[in-house]
Amino acid sequence: MMIRVLGSAAGGGFPQWNCNCRNCADVRAGKPGFKARTQSSLAVSADGTNWVLLNASPDLRQQINETPQLGSAASGALRNSPIKAAVVTNGDVDHVTGLINLREAQPFSVYGSKRVMDTLAANSIFNVLAGGVVARHDLPMNQPIAIEGPDGPTGITIEAFDVPGKVALYLEDASKGGNFGSKSGDTIGLKVSAPATGKAFFYVPGCAELDPPLRQRLQGAPLVFFDGTLYTDDEMLQQGLMPKTGARMGHISISGPEGSIAAFKDLDVAKKIYVHINNSNPVLNDNSPERKATEQAGWDVGYDGMEVRL
Ligand code: MLT
Ligand code: MN
Ligand code: ZN
């Protein structure tokens, strides 16, 4: 199985268009130790020919153009694409708006939880992915599903499962109390496997907490891509960027006794990679003490173009 990180940043990307925070200013200035990053997405393939997108970010056009395997094949038909399906893990802007880049009457399939697929159905702009051309499928929870493209199976199987998290920002309902009306299917993780080889990995780009069912699921996994949004729960407040903690946004932090480094410590996961990294996060500076601590704890900090083979 081939896995490529198309975008390793959280919503807004790095640098974010309107942000003059330390990290954004430094990456914009080309300071050594800083790499620009596009928004959150992976691509995966069992055979190197048929690809499945895991989330579709607003930067998808750029990501496709920077990834030769994802462009139209010179030997193919006048209109052709190796992208056979897209699977989304929540309804966040950074994970679904890239679907609109895939208009132009090209057949492919979209998969997401019923909650998220209902959100797409309720937003008429997604009708540019015309019925009869683009197939839409609800992903059941806790059940492996063979992902189908327009011309048959992709060779990728996905099992979706609920993880602790929150409904998309634009759907928050303050009248529903502390969880803003969040329900099953609002934030999911994916177990992605290639039955031909028996290899599998986990993709969990948004997660508020490693609760016991999630811990049990990830235990002993060969590879996990995980939510690296913030290093410290209050870093956006501390930097004066936004009055929201990670907990309020549905994201566990990397550091601290409640953080993901600590939570993964006894899980025996062979390879751990942070993705969905917010521009405020000090691990985006290759030379920061936070980056060093993260790597010393056995984690990789994902970057655009990173490839992993399983
Ligand atoms: C998030 O991951 O918290 C969201 O992408 C935030 C947003 O929609 O801007
Ligand atoms: Mn996000
Ligand atoms: Zn910034």
Contact residues of ligand 1, CB 6 A cut-off? 10-11, 92-94, 169, 206, 249
- From the CA of 94, give the closest atom in ligand 1: 5
Q: Whose CA is nearest to atom 7 of ligand 1?
A: 11
Distances (CA, A) of 147 to 42, 100, 160: 15, 20, 12
Q: What is the pLDDT of residue 289?
A: 98
pTM of the complete model: 0.98
Give residue 10's pLDDT: 98
Pick the ligand that lies closest to the CA of residue 15: 3
The beta-carbon contacts of 201-205 under 8 Å, at least 24 apart in sequence, are 201/1, 201/3, 201/225, 201/308, 201/310, 202/226, 203/42, 203/54, 203/89, 204/89, 204/163, 205/40, 205/55, 205/89, 205/95, 205/275, 205/276
Neighbours of ion ligand 2 (CB under 5 A): 10-11, 92, 94
Residue 131 confidence (pLDDT): 92
Q: Which atom of ligand 1 is nearest to the CA of 276?
A: 2
Q: What is the pLDDT of residue 102?
A: 97
Distance CA 117, CA 137 (A): 8
Question: The tokens 């993705």 sit on which residue?
Answer: 275
Candidate of 93, 180, 248, 280 to mutate for ligand 1, largest count of ligand atoms within 8 Å of Cβ: 93
Sequence spans of domains, the chain: 2-302
Q: Which numbered ligand comes closest to the C-alpha of 168?
A: 1
Q: What is the pLDDT of residues 213-243, one digit of tens each?
A: 999 999 999 999 999 999 999 999 999 999 9
Residue numbers in the chain where pLDDT is lower than 70: none
Structural fold of domain 2-302: Metallo-beta-lactamase; Chain A (3.60.15)
- Among protein residues, the one with the nearest Cα to ligand 1's atom 9 is 11
- Whose Cα sits closest to atom 6 in ligand 1? 11
For a pocket test of ligand 1, which of 88, 89, 92 has the largest count of ligand atoms closer than 8 A to its C-beta? 92
